[in-house]
Amino acid sequence: MGKNDKTEATIENRVYLFESLAAAFLEKASADLAGKNPARRARVIRALADLAFVSCAVADTGDQSPKAVRKKVLSAVELEEAVDVAVLAQDDGEDEPHAED
């Protein structure tokens, strides 16, 4: 299998995995995505981005063990949580409403 064939197969795997995961997720969350609540819509979009990342991580690490793939995904989540905390710490102090539902 040439490099282009492998790249195309990886892209196809990414698309297939994302399509499957997103379809299952959107079956439950489509009302929030189409709804008028911006906080709920943002959570659904964030979840779709996370599903896309997981799809890529799984498709791109076919030569690694499930444990290694899990570690890659979790390390990305931990890194992002640290960034989110840093952003919250830099809050500009404005009284902006935050949805907690």
pLDDT score, position 23? 92
Which of these ranges, 16-30, 36-50, 72-86, has the smallest mean pLDDT?
72-86
Residue 35 has a pLDDT of: 92
Domain ranges of the chain: 3-89
Confidence check: pLDDT of 61 > 80 = yes
- Residue 22: helix, strand or coil by DSSP? helix
Closest CA to 15 of 78, 47, 58, 74: 58
DSSP 61: T
pLDDT tens digits for range 16-36: 888 999 999 999 999 999 999
CA 53, CA 49: separation in Å to the nearest integer? 6
* Residue matched to tokens 């404005």: 94
**Mean of per-residue pLDDT scores for the chain:** 78
pTM: 0.65
